[in-house]
Amino acid sequence: MKKTSLLLTACAALFASNIAFAEPPEFKGADKNSDGGVDAAEFKALNLEKDFAELDADKNGNLNKTEYEAALEEECD
């Protein structure tokens, strides 16, 4: 019984760690409404600790693919 409990606990911890360190989606996956840009709400849903306004270089309220990919590159640094 203890082995089963320990195994289940280890599996749950592994599953939780995979969720915590999941990579953000590619641009198409982040652009939930398929309008060609990632808006502030879509970006917030990604739970990245970045300032959307700073990343929106052209200040149009959406991140284009170049801006989005730059944000992800910074996240990896």
User: Which phi-psi region, left, alpha or beta, contains residue 51 (left: φ > 0; alpha: ψ -120 to 50)?
Assistant: beta
**pTM of the complete model:** 0.67
Parse the chain into domains and list their residue ranges: 25-77
* pLDDT greater at residue 25 or residue 14: 25
Helix count and strand count (H, E) for the chain? 5, 2
Q: Output the CATH code of domain 25-77.
A: 1.10.238.10
Asked whether the predicted pLDDT for residue 34 surpasses 50, the reply is yes
At 10, the pLDDT band (50, 70, 90 cuts) reads low
The residue whose two tokens read 């959406």 is: 62
Euclidean distance between CA atoms 5 and 38, whole angstroms: 43
Q: In the predicted model, what is the mean pLDDT of residues 17-33?
A: 77
